[in-house]
Amino acid sequence: MLRDLQAEFRAGLLTSEETAPGRLGGAGVIGPERFWIYRNNYVASLKSALEATYPAIARLIGAENFSFLAHAYSRRFPPAEPSLHAYGGGFADHVAGIEAAVGDLPFLPDLARLEWAVNEAYFAADAEPLIAEQLAALAPGDYARLRLALHPTARLVASVYPVWHLWDAEDLANDFPAEGDCMLVLRPGDKVDVILLSPGDHAFLSALADGSLLGEAVEAAVAAEPGFDLTASLAAHLERGTFAGFDLD
């Protein structure tokens, strides 16, 4: 009985009807007005959670348009976990399926993927970053067998649209680059950084993330960017804390 009432209550939260579900109202469990207030608060809390995770999208498309996307998403995909910081992982795919949204603003799904990566990085596990001195102790012949592990907060995002530039834009009035962006999302400390990468650097880190040896990752980087500079790339990533460890194959 209780389980059935709970299921009916949950289903009622996800509809657009303005009355309490039949058995709830009929049994005097909760009146229509009280249920409507509860449902409004429920929908508003999910919209607020999505807005906190996707502030750039909310800022660029405006409050009314974002409310439409958020309410449609929350009805289709209610939270599966009790923590709202884990809510919204499917928002990018949801937006991609709304023709009215992506018709005029085709970058929205990729921007959502970037913002979700920021959210994931913020809540990811902490780890001590790898430092240059740890690699300096290796023998020259060891580098061919080297596998570098990315920091657990690291996320890689690539788009054919300039989403790195859109991410912190105040509006859509600016002229944005025509080419796409490759990005590294990283939180080695308390703050999440979104770092613009070259195509070669992105290919390099992507190969490492897939478990490639250092030499294989360099080959992928050079294929994407013939002028890729391994020494400069490694120095920059060691300084910013991109790696969390290494092993030898």
- Asked if the model's pLDDT at residue 23 lies above 60, the reply is no
Is 114 domain-assigned?
no
Query: pTM here?
Result: 0.86
- Looking at the structure, tell me whether residues 154 and 245 fall in a common domain: yes
Amino acid identity at 229:
D
Q: Is 138 left (phi over 0), alpha (psi -120 to 50) or beta?
A: beta
- Looking at the structure, tell me whether residues 130 and 102 fall in a common domain: no
Dist. CA 144–CA 142, nearest whole Å:
5
- Looking at the structure, tell me whether residues 102 and 183 fall in a common domain: no
- Asked if the model's pLDDT at residue 79 lies above 80, the reply is yes
- Asked if the model's pLDDT at residue 232 lies above 60, the reply is yes
Domain final residue, candidates 47, 78, 106: 106
Residue pair 84/49 in contact by the 8 Å Cβ criterion? yes
Dist. CA 38–CA 18, nearest whole Å:
11
Amino acid identity at 233:
S
Structural domain range at position 167: 126-249
Count structural domains, the chain: 2
Is 117 domain-assigned?
no
Q: What are phi and psi of 137, to 5 degrees?
A: -80, -10
Q: Per residue in 31-58, pLDDT tens?
A: 555 655 556 667 788 899 999 999 999 9
Is 172 domain-assigned?
yes
- 193-197: strand order across its sheet: 155-159, 181-186, 193-197
User: In this predicted structure, what is the pLDDT of residue 5?
Assistant: 45
